[in-house]
Amino acid sequence: MQGEDAGLSMTRRDLLRLIGLSAGGAAMYAAMNRLGFAAPSPYQGTPALQGAPRGTSVLILGAGLAGMVAAYELRAAGYKVQVLEYNQRAGGRNWTLRGGDTYTELGGFTQHCQFDRGLYINPGPWRIPYHHRGLLDYCKKLDIPLEPFVQVNYNAYLHRANAFGGKPQRYRTINADYRGHIAELLAKATQQSKLDAQVSKDDQALLLDSLRQWGALDKNYAYAAGPATSNRRGYAKSPGGGLTAKPLDSQPLQLHDVLTSRLWSGLTDGEMIEFQTTLFQPVGGMGRIGEAFGKRLKEVIRYNAKVTAIHQDDHGVTVSYEDTRHPGRAQTAHADWCICTIPLSILSQIPMNVGAPMTEAIGAVPYAASVKIGLQFKRRFWEEDEDIYGGITTTDLPISTISYPSADFNSKGKGVLLGGYAYGLDAYQFTALTPEERVRKAVEYGSQIHPQYKQEFESGVAVAWHRSPSTLGCFATWTDELRDKHYENLCQIDGRIALAGEHASYLPAWQEGAVTSALDVITRIHQRVVAGGVA
């Protein structure tokens, strides 16, 4: 998964919702492209790196997806590759926490994940859009099985603390009632000849037919209780069998109540291109991708390697680092070229002799705050009690999001929810708490939507990305102004050093940005190597 607290400032997601509701999908998509959210992947397959001089070496800093894609392709092309990774595992932000895992954040707080076998939470990326062709291709190459990720579930909830007395509303109810009332208003305007200047008579007849179908209107073009509306929003009593089979129609909400609730703001998420069906997830957790890369590259990755300095000269690049298990013992690694995928939030603190334009760019890009909280429950009550199988509930509470697992549907036993995905100012507030306090808050807030929380809760983990020692933040937050001033300088090859990662892409926060950034940079470095120089 972005933005800032909606109560104090407008998030990019909120902005996109408003653009979409007021100006339509085309305008929203254009805005998403400018902000770097929806740009379609440029992936056209892996580059053909032919003719590499024998023995040419490349040192890669970071075993996240960008670093491992670069290492995977360069090694296949005949380069001598070495990777230095701060963590004890491959994947970077591609990471899954499972039972038995231990994680220590800045400040010394250590969490011991107590999830049952087979249950997990993805603290970082958790879904793959269908159009992220590069990442999907590597999943195929690495034999990583995928399954659908449910983004939109019409039976999940939309919730605001001050709407409908704090009672969550089913997505399908708000969706049907909002569409129905809008369709009725537009039908009335059409019948009253108020659209004559914009719509021909023939098209008005077609428009009315389409509004009746789209909005579930009756023969008088009214949105009213009846079988058509109940079939969209749900029944007061569902149809069944036997003597009690007859259904009872539900009563639509009033337009005023729907509008003032502002729950309609949650209807557009699944329509943004990045969240449109179909999305995927690796079976067993997103971290399966990083783990698979790590196995393929195990001979060339040095773990627990904390980079302390990067120096280049006419003959190559020398990197100083220390083993985090034995701090204070300086070591060095040398190569002809260096691809650095270290997040800018960390890289800005490491001495590196590149030119002023790249140095300034590295220090200019802030990183988003984000906190993800995984909660294990004694039973899958969201399925058993509320018929929610996958999907997302959104709320204006600080947890922002509850995501229901898209695997093991209808199974017996326990389950893990994404019990909170806080970002912006809410994330800073959660980050200031201990992990135990974050989990407790998530249970407290979540129980306002699911009263079963307090009785069914067992254990939890909470990852605050600004306390992650290897990233100090979730992802790079570019603006149009920052991109205009710094993006090209960030992505240029400076002597023998080049950068890659989601921060060096127009797909920030997405793994596809890391993949395509890596492929771009290895292509350009290879061209220089084959050409015989650094100029």
Residues 281 and 375 in one domain: yes
Closest CA to 510 of 61, 120, 32, 90: 32
Residue whose pair of structure tokens reads 């990326």 in the numeric block: 125
Q: Is 309 exposed, middle or buried (0-12, 13-18, 19+ CB in 10 A)?
A: middle
**Could you report the per-residue pLDDT of 66-109, keeping only the tens digit for each?**
999 999 999 999 999 999 999 999 999 999 999 999 999 999 99
Q: Is residue 266 part of a domain?
A: no
Q: At 333, which CATH number?
A: 3.50.50.60
**Do 422 and 374 fall within a single domain?**
yes
Q: Is 314 exposed, middle or buried (0-12, 13-18, 19+ CB in 10 A)?
A: exposed
Residue 24 has pLDDT above 60, yes or no: no
Supply 415's token pair: 């389950």
Do 380 and 232 fall into the same domain?
no
The count of C-alpha atoms lying within 13 angstroms of the C-alpha of 84, restricted to the half-sphere facing its C-beta, is 28
Give the residue numbers spanning the domain of 73. 36-85+288-366+478-531
The answer on 452 and 372 residing in a single domain is yes
Does 483 share its domain with 461? no
Instruction: Look at the chain and report how many structural domains it folds into.
Output: 3
Task: Write the pLDDT tens digit of every residue in 116-166.
Answer: 999 999 999 999 999 999 999 999 999 999 999 999 999 999 999 999 999
SS3 category, 129 = strand
Domain harbouring 203, CATH code: 1.20.1440.240
Among 261, 296, 313, where does a domain finish?
A: 261
Is 376 found in the same domain as 463?
yes
- The answer to whether position 328 is within a domain reads yes
105: domain CATH number? 3.90.660.10
- Does some domain include residue 389? yes
pLDDT digit string, tens, across residues 158-216:
999 999 999 999 999 999 999 999 999 999 999 999 999 999 999 999 999 999 999 99
Task: Tell me, yes or no, whether 222 and 255 share the same domain.
Answer: yes
H/E stretch holding 306 = strand 305-313
Residue 35 has pLDDT above 70, yes or no: no
Residue 29 maps to a domain: no
Question: 373 with 449, same domain?
Answer: yes
Domain-located, residue 472: no
Distance of CA 482 to the CA centre of its chain: 22
* Residue 473 falls inside a structural domain: no
Whether 74 and 105 share a structural domain: no
Q: Are residues 134 and 43 in the same domain?
A: no
Short-list 433, 442, 441, 367, CA closest to 401? 442
Residues 376 and 455 in one domain: yes
With respect to residue 1, please indicate whether it lies within any of the assigned structural domains: no
pLDDT tens digits, 503-519:
999 999 999 999 999 99
Residue 478 burial by Cβ neighbours in a 10 Å radius (0-12, 13-18, 19+): buried
Residue 144 lies in a domain: yes
Mark whether 303 and 383 lie in a shared domain.
no
Start-to-end CA distance of the chain, whole Å, equals 39
Evaluate whether 435 touches 111 at the Cβ level (below 8 Å). yes
Nearest to 65 by CA among 153, 5, 124: 124
